[in-house]
């Protein structure tokens, strides 16, 4: 530990204490506007926490929980059964057993037309990959992704289903499958003729229709999936059973925590209504912001935790689950540690092939811009997503620029002569607090839209200057110190 123990304890106390007090203020403002939110959005009566009402306005959480209860959890249980039986009896044929099950589950849930769409995407991607031209593969992938946003095509697909929820399930599934098809196709382009047997169309189907990651991810690149799926390991029912029980308990805890948050704080309903945000105290605003980003984190511990558990049961190593956002102190750290599978995809297939950090300054700017442009487009391409992508690009570029400047020998020597290690660490946290404030702002735009970002910018940085701004940066300084300490301790481990 570089800093004195008492100093780190103070930062930890201020960080934890400010979280709880901000959450209390967010709860108070939720209670104040409960009747208005209930009339406008229809708060749901609490089932898990009786006596409390539940904010139903987070579409993604409500959507996947509903589908999970109705069909998807049962299909995942079926996958688990097929997987364990095939590992026990026919380990050699496990990929093909799981492929057949995934195709059957897709057919059952999305219907024959939905199944045909995904199979069509896979066939087209495989045919284009035969030319072994990465650029052509990317053009094909972007065209296929673009078809999801053609109004006439959307309208035709809607007619296949009785409800909007069924159509959205197809839309979300195909969006994720596009990334899987792209990963396979690019790996096919990059491997020589001797390795083509491991990149057959049958392996593509096994990858694309692997059910735990089918609807919502997480993303695993084909080279990792293929390597791990081919590896045959000793099967131990007792070990797998303990992994399953511990995993279920952990996911149930995360689910309860997420439900508790939207019972105590009407985050999403308040974010959908401008007047309460404009009238709320600074502490309530901060509490709602923290609650929003932490709910997103806990939500993805559940949504990625379920497939990650099944991957473990299948003998695969899943992408790491998201890191706690309260420990994030830079844009770069956020992208590396939240959606690890998506980050690996972006780095391997866009950032590095376009030059990445090894290229010139202009090359690095371009490759980073292209990466964030693709992410914004893949998420839907709405205007707020382009603002979010641009802010993240700017944040990553500025952090990279500062790091490059500080790595210059002359400047490095000057800093080391002028400042002690403890002062350098504190200056690091000061810079990190500014970066974290912009990171939170960009995430609020992603989660709440442009209007939420504007309200926070105006209230904290414009109207609130200097005291509100400096107070926020002061608390973020404490969060950054805790995050930096956590990162260094785990790096040593």
Q: How far apart are CA 109 and CA 15, in angstroms?
A: 45
CA angle 285, 286, 287 (to 5 degrees): 90
Largest CA distance in the chain: 70
Q: Which residues contact 360 (CB under 8 A, 6 or more apart)?
A: none
- Enumerate the H helices of 209-330 as residue ranges: 222-230, 237-264, 267-271, 274-279, 282-313
d(CA 248, CA 243): 9
Q: Per DSSP, what are the bridge partners of residue 41?
A: none
Tell me if 12 sits within 8 A of 482, measured CB to CB: yes
* Chain centre to alpha carbon of residue 14: 28
Lookup: tokens for 267 = 């985050």
Say if strands 53-54 and 44-45 run parallel, antiparallel, or are unpaired. antiparallel
Residue 367 near residue 391, CB atoms below 8 Å: no
CA torsion sign for 384, 385, 388, 390 is negative
* Structure tokens that stand for 66 in this block: 């509903």
**Cα angle 193, 199, 204; round to 5:** 155
Check the CA dihedral 337-342-347-350 and report its sign.
Answer: negative
Catalytic annotation on 379? yes
According to DSSP, residue 318 is labeled P
Q: Which residue from 117, 109, 115 is spatially nearest to 153, judged by alpha carbons?
A: 117
Pick the catalytic residue: 121, 199, 343, 379?
379
Task: List residues with catalytic annotation.
Answer: 379
């Amino acid at each position: 530990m570089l800093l004195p123990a008492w100093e780190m304890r103070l930062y930890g106390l201020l960080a934890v204490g400010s979280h709880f007090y901000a959450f209390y203020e967010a709860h108070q403002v939720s209670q104040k506007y409960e009747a208005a939110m209930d009339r406008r959005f229809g708060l749901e009566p609490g089932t898990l926490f009786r006596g409390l009402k539940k904010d139903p306005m987070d579409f993604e959480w409500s959507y996947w929980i509903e589908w999970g209860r109705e069909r998807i959890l049962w299909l995942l249980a079926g996958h688990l059964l097929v997987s364990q039986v095939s590992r026990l009896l026919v380990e050699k044929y496990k990929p093909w057993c799981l492929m057949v099950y995934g195709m059957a589950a897709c057919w059952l849930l999305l219907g024959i037309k939905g199944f045909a769409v995904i199979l069509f995407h896979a066939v087209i991607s495989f045919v284009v990959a035969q030319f072994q031209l990465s650029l052509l593969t990317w053009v094909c992938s972007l065209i296929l992704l673009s078809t999801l946003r053609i109004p006439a095509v959307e309208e035709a697909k809607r007619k296949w289903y009785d409800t909007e929820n069924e159509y959205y399930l197809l839309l979300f599934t195909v969006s994720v499958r596009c990334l899987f098809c792209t990963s396979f196709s690019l790996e096919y382009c990059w491997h020589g003729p001797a390795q083509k047997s491991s990149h057959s169309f049958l392996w593509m189907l096994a990858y694309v229709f692997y059910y735990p990651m089918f609807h919502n991810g997480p993303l695993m690149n084909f080279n990792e999936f293929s390597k791990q799926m081919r590896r045959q390991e000793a099967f131990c029912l007792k070990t797998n059973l303990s992994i399953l029980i511990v995993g279920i308990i952990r996911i149930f805890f995360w689910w309860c925590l997420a439900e508790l948050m939207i019972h105590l704080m009407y985050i999403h309903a308040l974010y959908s209504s401008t007047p309460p945000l404009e009238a709320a105290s600074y502490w309530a605003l901060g509490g709602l912001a923290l609650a929003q980003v932490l709910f997103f984190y806990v939500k993805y511990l559940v949504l990625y935790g379920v497939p990650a558990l099944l991957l473990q049961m299948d003998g695969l190593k899943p992408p790491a689950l998201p890191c706690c956002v309260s420990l994030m102190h830079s844009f770069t750290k956020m992208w590396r540690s939240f959606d690890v599978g998506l980050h690996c995809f972006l780095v391997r297939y866009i950032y590095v092939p376009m030059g990445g950090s090894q290229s010139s300054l202009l090359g690095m700017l371009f490759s980073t811009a292209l990466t964030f442009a693709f992410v914004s487009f893949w998420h839907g391409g709405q205007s707020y997503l382009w603002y979010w992508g641009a802010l993240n690009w700017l944040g990553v570029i500025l952090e990279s620029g500062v790091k490059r400047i500080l790595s210059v020998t002359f400047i490095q020597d000057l800093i080391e002569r002028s400042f002690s290690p403890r002062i350098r660490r504190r200056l690091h946290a000061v810079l990190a607090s500014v970066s974290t404030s912009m990171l939170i702002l960009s995430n609020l735009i992603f989660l709440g839209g442009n209007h939420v970002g504007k309200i926070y910018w105006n209230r904290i940085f414009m109207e609130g200057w200097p005291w509100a701004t400096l107070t926020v940066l002061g608390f973020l300084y404490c969060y950054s110190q805790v995050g930096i300490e956590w990162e260094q301790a785990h790096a040593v481990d």
